[in-house]
Chain A
């Protein structure tokens, strides 16, 4: 069974640019969550999509957005990049909500560097 695939693995962007990250979940999983990981803040929840609908959102500015397609693949977009957006962006796949059903399986992440 294939794991969670995130592309690209590494990305270098300039301030003010925008970026799109992609995530393919485990086959059969309908929930995709995105997290930002930085040394100072740890793992911070960005948003979660379930069956193409955003079900939950973290405390990030509107520059961070996402979507999910009918095949459960998800994309995350960050517009007007700032230096502070440099981080490891992680995508997590799970079968869905409900008690005990939030076991999350992570991809390898996309390392975004903003210069």
Chain B
């Protein structure tokens, strides 16, 4: 059974601070996706990483995929209140459309 451990579970920071969210598994991913979800809405896809060692940037968000494709991180630089939300990582273990989700990181950025 694949498990995806995401940390931290909760994060409350001030505007302008940096933060990193981690996603780890004992199994190798085919690919990994990061989502952001707001209350009462569905998750919105931020990025997909496929190649070990890959780094992708989306404005102030930087996503890294571990060399062994077992872990990933999301780094936010100079967080803003608009970044507030639930961040989810989801691993694809090449099981034909099934994603395994981490428990999520509830981020609160205070002005």
Contacts and interface: CB of A to CB of B under 8 A. Distances in A.
B109 to A, nearest CB: 21
B30 A99 contact: yes
Contacts of A48: 96-98
A109 interface: yes
Interface residues of B, number: 26
A105 B99 contact: no
A97 interface: yes
A107 B97 contact: no
A108 interface: yes
Contacts, number: 81
A96 B97 contact: yes
Contact of B102 (A6, A42, A94): A42
Contacts of B92: 99-100, 102
Interface string B99-111: 1111110000000
B31 A99 contact: yes
Contact of B99 (A6, A50, A102): A102
Contact of B97 (A31, A88, A109, A111): A31
Interface in A58-115: 58, 88, 90, 92, 94, 96-97, 99-100, 102-109, 111
Of B44, B48, B96, most A-chain CB atoms within 10 Å: B96
B40 interface: yes
A97 B96 CA distance: 5
B42 interface: yes
A106 B31 contact: no
Contacts of B96: 48, 50, 55-56, 97
Given A45-B99, A50-B97, A55-B96, A111 B33 contact: no
Interface pairs A-B: 8 shortest CB-CB: A106-B42, A43-B101, A48-B97, A97-B96, A102-B92, A99-B30, A100-B50, A56-B98
Interface of A: 4, 6, 31, 33, 35, 42-45, 48, 50, 55-56, 58, 88, 90, 92, 94, 96-97, 99-100, 102-109, 111
Interface of B: 30-31, 33, 35, 40-45, 48, 50, 88, 90, 92, 94-104
